[in-house]
Structure 1
Amino acid sequence: MIDFDRLPSPCYVVDEQLLDRNLALIDRVRRESGAEIIVALKACAMWSIFPELARHSDGATASSAAEARLVREEFGRPAHTYAPVYTDRNIDEILATSDHITFNSLSQFERFGQRALIRGLSCGLRINPGYSPVETDLYNPCVAGSRLGVTARRLREAGGLPEGIEGLHFHVLCESRPEHLRLALEAVEERFGDLLDRVKWLNMGGGHLMTHADYDCDALIALLRAFRARHPHLRLILEPGSAFTWRTGYLVSTVEDVVENEGVRTAMLDVSFACHMPDCLEMPYKPAIVGARDPEGDEPRWRLGGTSCLAGDYYGDWAFDRAPRVGDRIVFEDMIHYTMVKTTMFNGVEHPSIAIARRDGQVDVIRRFGYEDYKNRMS
């Protein structure tokens, strides 16, 4: 049991025992499906746990020169890189730190493809199969007029798959289930089936939330096996982000004030939803809190307020067995994926420390942030 009162506040904490559970399940899917599973850094770039992730994956995927360099330096192998746009400023570093590169458009491949091929990289093309189960447009890559991926119609108009392309990539899922992947694969086979025999690998992107308690891994394994049986020459690649660190850690905060106006009770925290948990406002979604629950009936309701001066930096409502008081710890659950990678220092607010709760019960604070980190981000 982690003693949250002994940790710095605010602080992100990864629990190695929770991480072990996820990695064991991912290993099972790799072993029984025959698919490669690589880590998406856009969800978690906490490189102090990369040695663990590297032992239970087939590599890592990057979306920028910085991520590709981090994969090469801390994962110990080249990255499988995809970005919506490459530039003359970053392409050389990306090519030097990657062994696969996926292009978002035919024009990007025309511009940079030969440089990748000369260096010996395996080149892929992102396709848009026209199907996604994602209902929130902000996260849906297949909305009308999407800039992400090449449509089948655009590919036909251009005369087909360019010479030098060895793989296809699609990414249409978000915290999805096997039935959504099945529908995505049906769309790929319907619109791009004639190309599958001409390429060496198919990257199915992320969004495969296989470590969720309600996810049917047997169905996923069966689906991947059946697809491999239809296309036995293809390497199948999945690049989940959230699945590796799903429900593996916390964001620890402290109540610093209690404000009540017009009957609304707000516990003011030393963390910020806008700076440290932006998906809560963007998605939006309501995070779970240790010792808190959704209020029922007339029981007291509490709003939690962030430390930035943004008027909307708050979320609610929650019910507590005991009214929050100054000095109480508020511990947000499942805060490792898509949290640290999205944080900002807006307002110069204190950036949470980063810690690992070890298997033997020891807690190591890996990193603390201060004024120099803020200053160096500016100029």
Structure 2
Amino acid sequence: MSSEFDALPSPCYLLEAARLRENLQLIDRVQQASGCNIILALKGFAMWSAFPMVREYLSGCSASSYNEARLAKTHFGGDVHLYAPAYSEAEFPELLPLAERISFNSLSQWQRLGDQAIAAGKSCGLRVNPAIDEVAIDLYNPCHSQSRLGISVEQAAQDLPAGIEGLHVHALCESHADATSRLIQAMEEKFARWLPNLKWCNLGGGHLMTRQGYDVDGLIETLKGFRQRHPHLDIMLEPGSAIAWDSGPLVATVLDLIERGGIAIALLDVSATAHMPDVLEMPYRAEVRHGGKPGSRPYTYRLTGPTCLAGDIIGDYAFDHPLQIGERLIFEDMIHYTMVKTTQFNGVPHPAIAIRHEQGEIEVIRQFSYDDYERRLS
């Protein structure tokens, strides 16, 4: 194992700045060639120590809460685009200074709060549900018939509400370019009567353009076609995963090795439920450096977390050598949708956060302590 990982605190998220820049350069190529604006979705990646680099390529952020909007305004600047499934009437006035564009999830929220937004000089939009089936996993599918997210196609049969300037749609999840094409087709078919009277259209996230094999040129042509058909629209995308895709690992340490029921078990200092929750929620199989599928190599272990949750299980992995207590394991692609979703369930320590700068040196940006745990409670 490389000594650079041995020198890190454990557990630790390690952002590879060079990989982040590669992603941003590709994303910038898409926005330059297509004429669309691309902004950062904070729900996927909110590591604000990396914002200076992101700001070189992207003009703003999308936020879905007061905390996200304030983080964007404080550490990123630029335009903040705000959407939430429901706004608190008590909190809404505090949101207004933080955002340039505000999207409403329902006509009732628009009717109650829209006047405040317009009086504050905000450009207002509605989130719509195009009722397309592009996401197989219900947990991440915002477009099923009973979804609480966005107004329905049937509601869009009425006239565009006065004061609405944009539409916001989110229908994809780690999707390919052909899904974006189908999304745009659905928008043009189902919201045709509204599009001519709008100023902007936000195509949301889920456009995983930085994944290997993604048809980037196809996406560019699709977006260019949409702009050509609707030259009056400011068209934007707000990817989350694509920004930080494959931009760094989560470093872990083996704490103990036991055997139960004929299975070798490695207990680690990282938790599926607390530090990589999508492993359980989606679920998906995290990639471990130098690890393979069970039985593909001589030594197979069940990798598990340190919490008391019985199901805190990362998965079964095979290695070329027997694991040792104190050995470092590297979980790949752990920068997006991890730090923004972590918990301190059971009091487990939050992983440290580090950056490998483009020149090669590693800097530990933050380590967490008991004080962080205590401050979350009362």
| TM-score of the pair, normalised by structure 2 | 0.98
Cα distance in 2 for residues equivalent to 1:195 and 1:2: 58
User: How far did 1:296 drift?
Assistant: 3.9
User: How far did 1:321 drift?
Assistant: 1.0
**Structure 1 counterpart of 2:174:** 175
- Residue type at the aligned position of 2:51: F
Cα distance in 1 for residues equivalent to 2:298 and 2:185: 49
Cα distance in 2 for residues equivalent to 1:22 and 1:28: 10
Q: Does the 8 Å contact 1:13/1:354 carry over to 2?
A: yes
Cα distance in 1 for residues equivalent to 2:3 and 2:333: 15
Q: Does the 8 Å contact 1:356/1:363 carry over to 2?
A: yes
**Structure 2 counterpart of 1:292:** 291
Partner of 1:267: helix, strand, or coil?
strand
Q: Does the 8 Å contact 1:68/1:78 carry over to 2?
A: no
**Structure 2 counterpart of 1:338:** 337
Per-residue CA distance 1:221-261 (angstroms, 9 max, x = gap): 00001111111111110000000100001111100100101
- Residue type at the aligned position of 2:211: H
Assess, with a 3 A threshold, how the Cα gap between structure 1 residues 286 and 38 changes in structure 2: closer, same or farther: same
Is 1:120 the counterpart of 2:121? The answer is yes
Q: How does 1:4-43 map to 2 (within 5 A)?
A: 4-43=5-44
Cα distance in 1 for residues equivalent to 2:159 and 2:105: 15
Partner of 2:194: helix, strand, or coil?
helix
Per-residue CA distance 1:173-216 (angstroms, 9 max, x = gap): 00001111111111111110111101000000000000000101
Partner of 1:301: helix, strand, or coil?
strand
Is 1:240 the counterpart of 2:222? The answer is no
Per-residue CA distance 1:122-170 (angstroms, 9 max, x = gap): 00000111003101111101112111101121233xx321100000010
Per-residue CA distance 1:49-72 (angstroms, 9 max, x = gap): 111111111211000011001110
Assess, with a 3 A threshold, how the Cα gap between structure 1 residues 2 and 34 changes in structure 2: closer, same or farther: farther
Cα distance in 2 for residues equivalent to 1:231 and 1:144: 28
Cα distance in 2 for residues equivalent to 1:143 and 1:115: 31
Q: Does the 8 Å contact 2:296/2:318 carry over to 1?
A: no
Q: Does the 8 Å contact 1:78/1:97 carry over to 2?
A: no
Q: Does the 8 Å contact 2:347/2:373 carry over to 1?
A: yes
Q: Does the 8 Å contact 1:65/1:94 carry over to 2?
A: yes
**Structure 1 counterpart of 2:353:** 354
Q: Does the 8 Å contact 2:274/2:345 carry over to 1?
A: yes
- Residue type at the aligned position of 1:68: A
Comparing 238-247 with 17-26, greater Cα deviation is found at 17-26
Assess, with a 3 A threshold, how the Cα gap between structure 1 residues 115 and 340 changes in structure 2: closer, same or farther: same
Partner of 2:299: helix, strand, or coil?
coil
Partner of 1:69: helix, strand, or coil?
helix
User: How far did 1:279 drift?
Assistant: 0.3
User: How far did 1:322 drift?
Assistant: 0.8
Q: Does the 8 Å contact 2:201/2:233 carry over to 1?
A: yes
Per-residue CA distance 1:75-116 (angstroms, 9 max, x = gap): 023410000000123211211100000000001111110100
Cα distance in 1 for residues equivalent to 2:297 and 2:243: 39
Q: Does the 8 Å contact 2:298/2:319 carry over to 1?
A: no
Cα distance in 1 for residues equivalent to 2:145 and 2:130: 12
Q: Does the 8 Å contact 1:250/1:331 carry over to 2?
A: yes
Is 1:205 the counterpart of 2:204? The answer is yes
Q: Does the 8 Å contact 1:209/1:215 carry over to 2?
A: yes
- Residue type at the aligned position of 1:151: S
Q: Does the 8 Å contact 2:298/2:320 carry over to 1?
A: no
Assess, with a 3 A threshold, how the Cα gap between structure 1 residues 78 and 30 changes in structure 2: closer, same or farther: closer
**Structure 2 counterpart of 1:281:** 280
Partner of 1:182: helix, strand, or coil?
helix
Q: How does 1:301-340 map to 2 (within 5 A)?
A: 301-340=300-339
Gaps in structure 1 of 5+ consecutive residues: none
Total equivalences in the alignment = 377
User: How far did 1:297 drift?
Assistant: 5.7
Is 1:262 the counterpart of 2:276? The answer is no
Q: Does the 8 Å contact 1:132/1:184 carry over to 2?
A: no
**Structure 2 counterpart of 1:61:** 62
Gaps in structure 2 of 5+ consecutive residues: none
Cα distance in 1 for residues equivalent to 2:287 and 2:338: 14
Partner of 2:109: helix, strand, or coil?
helix
**Structure 2 counterpart of 1:161:** 160
Partner of 1:340: helix, strand, or coil?
coil
- Residue type at the aligned position of 2:254: V
- Residue type at the aligned position of 1:126: R
Per-residue CA distance 1:283-342 (angstroms, 9 max, x = gap): 000111111111346843211010100000012211111111101001101000000000
Q: Does the 8 Å contact 2:303/2:313 carry over to 1?
A: yes
